[in-house]
Amino acid sequence: MNMSHPAAEASAREVAPSSRLEEVLSAGRFAVTAEMASPDSSNPEDVLANIAPLVGHVDAINVTDGSGANAHIASLAASAIIARAGHTPVMQMTCRDRNRIAIQADLVGAAALGINTLLCLGGDDVKAGDHPDAKPVFDLDGTSLIKAARTLCDGQYLSGRKLTHPPRLFIGAPENPFMAPLEGRLEKLKARIEVGAQFVQTQFCFDIALLRQFMTRAVELGLDRRCSILVGVGPLASARTARWMRSNIPGVHIPDATIERMETSADPAAEGRRICVEMMQQIREVKGVAGVHIMAIRQERWIGELVQSSGVLGGRRAGAA
C-alpha cells in the first residue's frame, strides 16, 4: 500500500497549504474528492442541498463550470457558497466561455472569496449542449490556463502588471490515462506539471490493468512525486449506460466482463456500486496514486456509502490530515 503522495514538489510551497485538499495530500493521506450536481437555481440553499450527500465523506467538492456546455449556476458562485459553509470547493474553470482578461479577474476574485483550489479545463464543445449557436472563446487552452493561474500566484498578470496581493491557489488539471498512446499522455501530464499543475483528476477508471500500466511509467518518470494523481471512479447505473460510455466518452475503457456483470445482475445499479467500491479498493493499492475522484452522476446520494464501504479513508475523518 502506498500512502506517501507529496503534493506538488515541482512548485513546493514554503508556506502552509492553501486548501484542505492540499493539506491532506501534502500529509501523504489518500484523498477523496467528488463532484456535485450544479443546480439550475439562484437559491444558495439548493447548492447546500446538493452537497449534503458529500459532506463528511470527501475532502473536497468539485463544482462544474457549464458542464456538457449547458448553463447552470456559476462555478465561482457555487464554490463561494460552499466555502462560506466551511467546506473545500474545487472550482472548475473552462476556457470555452472567457478570454484571458475575464479568467484572470475570476481567479483573483475567487481567491478573495476563499476559493483556493482550482481545476483547469478546456471545456465541452458548445454543440454538445442546449446552446449550440453560442460562440466559444478558447483564448487560452487548458495548459495555458494552468500557466495563467501559476503566474497570478507568482504575483503578476499575464501582461506583466503586478498584483498587490497575489492569490494562493492549489492548481489542478484533468488527465486521461486510458487514451493511446501512453507515452503521449505522459508527456502531456509532464507539460502540465511543468507549467504549474499540482494535482490531476483523471477520467473514469474501470480497467485496473490499464491504470497500473500508466502509473508504472508515471512512477518511473517521477511524475507522482511532482503532482498528486487522483483517479476518477463512478458507479455504473446499467449495462446500457456502460456501453454508451464506452462508445461515446473518449478514454473510457470498460471491460466486457464488467458489462456482463451488470447484465446478469438482478439489481444492476447495486452491482454498479459494488464494482465502484471494488475499483476504489484496488486503486488505493496502486503505487503512485494519491486518491480517488468520485463522479456519481445522478447517484450522488450513494457517495457516502461508496466511501465507507471501500474503506479508502482508512479510518481518517474526511477533510482532516
Mean pLDDT by 10 residues, the chain (321 residues): 46 63 97 96 97 97 92 96 97 97 98 98 86 93 98 98 98 96 96 98 98 98 98 98 95 96 97 98 99 96 98 90 65
The answer to whether residue 3 sits within a structural domain is no
Our CA angle for 193, 165, 107, nearest 5°, is 50
**Is 21 within 8 Å of 31 (Cβ atoms)?**
yes
The answer to whether residue 164 sits within a structural domain is yes
**Is 132 within 8 Å of 126 (Cβ atoms)?**
yes
The answer to whether residue 4 sits within a structural domain is no
The answer to whether residue 28 sits within a structural domain is yes
Beta bridge partners of 289: 229
The answer to whether residue 1 sits within a structural domain is no
Record the pTM: 0.93
Number of domains in the chain: 1
> Can you give the pLDDT at residue 28?
96
Q: Measured between alpha carbons, how far is residue 279 from residues 35, 105, 272, 282, 318 in Å?
A: 18, 39, 10, 5, 19
147: CATH: 3.20.20.220
> Can you give the pLDDT at residue 66?
85
The answer to whether residue 315 sits within a structural domain is no
The answer to whether residue 319 sits within a structural domain is no
> Can you give the pLDDT at residue 13?
43
Host domain of residue 215? 9-310
**Is 213 within 8 Å of 188 (Cβ atoms)?**
no
The answer to whether residue 2 sits within a structural domain is no
CA dihedral 94, 224, 297, 180 (to 10 degrees): 80
**Is 96 within 8 Å of 102 (Cβ atoms)?**
no
